[in-house]
Amino acid sequence: MAFMVDLNADMGESFGAYALGSDEELLNHITSCNIACGFHAGDYMVMKKTVTMAAVKNVAVGAHIGFPDLQGFGRRAMQFSTEEIENLTIYQIGALQAFAQASGINLKHVKPHGALYNMAATDYNIARAIAEAIKKVMPDGILLALANSEMVKAAHDVGIKVAQEVFADRAYNPDGTLVSRSAVGSTIHDPKEAVNRVLKMVLYKKVTAINDEDISINADSICVHGDNPQAIDLTRAIRSALQDNNVNVVELSQVIQNSNQSRSL
């Protein structure tokens, strides 16, 4: 089967008088978008606008769920019970589902944000709470999860679809987790280096960790952060490089379908 990969970005992160990201232009270069649902970023006006733009550009829409932490942009660890995690996931999915329905499209996936993402990557109980929520309200939905993480295991155990995500502009620890943003070298700023890392992850299923060790990784979807000032140029360069290497850039559900067909052969 041909190489296929999804290219996603986090967006819809503006709220009220605060503008963040170049969502409309970025939508021209990606195949899936993760739209903030009002907890860590976004609001009801921005959610509606972003869903509508994505629908017009035929970009798959997913819910970007996070902790209720506007001041910290959802990047501060917060302590919640698994019941609370499940319910805050359902709440945010429900909000974006309504806007998707109003725009005549279906919500395709769910991706945790920031601290919730990093915690779910290593804590099976948190990951399972998110997966259970998706199964209850979006049973055909896809959990967009850090590659090789506890989220992947939880999705398989619960019985929902899962896509493994890699990052073009983030550094990795040897265990496959993301290097903390507070650490030196956590973010890749050189576009050429980011493109080369993406090609290595997609074509060879390897990434060089921060200690220079090559680790195995699965890449169903590549994330470029929408709040990165270089996001548009970087996304354009990544997409061009993938296509030059005969990798089809398609939306998430097509990647999952192709992967399932490959396993059945």
- Tens of pLDDT, residue by residue over 109-167, are 999 999 999 999 999 999 999 999 999 999 999 999 999 999 999 999 999 999 999 99
Q: Where are the domains of the chain?
A: 4-264
Closest CA to 165 of 63, 252, 70: 252
- Span 240-256, mean pLDDT? 95
Q: How many Cβ atoms from other residues are within 10 Å of residue 90's Cβ?
A: 18
Residue 225 confidence (pLDDT) above 90: no
pTM: 0.94
User: What is the per-residue pLDDT for 62?
Assistant: 98
Residue 107's alpha-carbon distances to 79, 134, 170, in angstroms, are 28, 11, 26
Question: Contact 207/147 with Cβ under 8 angstroms?
Answer: no
3-class DSSP assignment, residue 23: helix
Q: What average pLDDT does the segment 234-262 reach?
A: 90
% of the chain at pLDDT higher than 90? 85
Answer whether CATH 3.20.20.370 is correct for domain 4-264: yes
pLDDT tens sequence across 17-74: 999 888 999 999 999 999 999 999 999 999 999 999 999 999 999 999 999 999 999 9
Q: How many CB atoms lie within 10 A of CB 81?
A: 11
Distance CA 168, CA 56 (A): 26
> What's 212's DSSP letter?
S
* Residue 20: partners with Cβ closer than 8 Å, 6 or more residues away: 13, 14, 41, 226, 227
Which pLDDT score is estimated for 226?
66
Look at the block and give the residue holding tokens 């605060």.
18
pLDDT tens-digit readout, 78-115? 999 999 999 999 999 999 999 999 999 999 999 999 99
Task: Evaluate whether 224 touches 231 at the Cβ level (below 8 Å).
Answer: yes
160: its two tokens: 């929902």
